[in-house]
């Protein structure tokens, strides 16, 4: 396997799992490294297969080239429309309250859509600010790096649409872990900690980083 783009990378011949998805993404997994792929290409990318070669090309000029020496199994499934991940009680309530009081995060925020669906999942809150920029808000009970990465994927998809680009990312949680905060801010994402009791009107406390 060879990757050509911002840098060069190569995987030696071995038995691996190749996942091609209908959204135009591709991931290569080994029987180790837990759930993380060894390499991948995010959508949109063009997938072609010919003469034992699977190739993925992105509009940015990146390429992932996979040479097949032996196929142990070739199986295709259609999953249909995914209903999406259901949030737990706290996340759902935070989203519901903030959808009606998005100005609690910043006075100039105006809600455009709650649960705006993209082709990789729903954005919790899609808003705009006083400067007319699209604000993408991801809400968690506890903010971790995985949540920041999820927000970044939504921004990446929406930034492909001229109606929304360039977007502003906002990561909201009752508690944001320090590593997630550092990572988010390094990507230009605003982190806001909220208190559910405050939003309910029970106490008066909200922290903005």
128: left (phi over 0), alpha (psi -120 to 50) or beta: beta
Contact 125, 98 (CB under 8 A): yes
pTM exceeding the 0.85 threshold for the entire prediction: no
Domains 2-67 and 89-208 share a fold: no
The pLDDT value recorded for residue 61 is 87
Q: Is the CATH code 3.40.190.10 the one for domain 2-67?
A: no
* Distant-in-sequence, close-in-space partners of 46: CB < 8 Å, separation ≥ 6: 24, 56, 57, 58
pLDDT digits (tens, 9 = 90+) for 83-135: 555 555 788 899 999 999 999 999 999 999 999 999 889 999 999 999 999 99
Sign, CA torsion 128/130/133/135 = negative
Alpha-carbon separation of residue 109 from 20, 112, 129, 166 (angstroms): 38, 9, 5, 16
Query: Which residues touch 80 (CB under 8 Å, ≥6 apart)?
Result: none
CA-based nearest residue to 160, from 130, 188, 139, 134: 134
Segment-wise mean pLDDT, segments of 10 residues, the chain, 209 residues: 70 89 86 78 86 89 90 86 60 92 94 93 95 96 94 95 96 96 96 89 55
Structural tokens at position 128: 């705009």
Residues 153 and 97: their CA atoms lie apart, in Å, by: 24
Q: How many CB atoms lie under 10 A from the CB of residue 70?
A: 7
The domains of the chain are located at 2-67, 89-208
89-208: which CATH number, 3.40.1350.10, 3.30.110.40, 1.10.3720.10, 2.40.10.220?
3.40.1350.10
Start-to-end CA distance of the chain, whole Å, equals: 42
Alpha carbons 88 and 139: distance in angstroms, whole number: 11
């Amino acid at each position: 396997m060879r990757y050509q783009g911002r840098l060069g990378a190569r995987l030696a011949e071995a038995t691996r799992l190749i996942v091609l998805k209908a959204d135009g993404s591709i991931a290569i997994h080994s029987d180790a490294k837990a759930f993380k792929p060894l390499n991948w290409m995010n959508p949109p990318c063009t997938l072609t297969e010919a003469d034992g070669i699977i190739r993925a090309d992105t509009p940015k000029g990146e390429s992932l080239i996979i040479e097949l020496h032996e196929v142990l199994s070739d199986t295709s499934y259609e999953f249909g429309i995914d209903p999406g991940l259901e949030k737990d009680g706290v996340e759902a309530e935070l989203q519901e309250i903030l959808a009606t009081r998005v100005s609690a995060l910043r006075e100039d925020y105006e809600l455009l859509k709650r649960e705006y669906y993209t082709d990789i999942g729903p954005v919790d809150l899609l808003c705009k600010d006083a400067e007319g920029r699209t604000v993408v808000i991801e809400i968690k009970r506890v903010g971790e790096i995985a949540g920041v990465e999820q927000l970044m994927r939504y921004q990446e998809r929406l930034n492909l649409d001229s109606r929304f680009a360039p977007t502003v990312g906002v990561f909201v949680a009752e508690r944001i872990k320090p590593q997630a905060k550092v990572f988010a801010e390094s990507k230009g994402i605003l982190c806001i900690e909220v208190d559910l009791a405050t939003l309910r009107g029970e106490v008066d406390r909200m922290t903005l980083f």
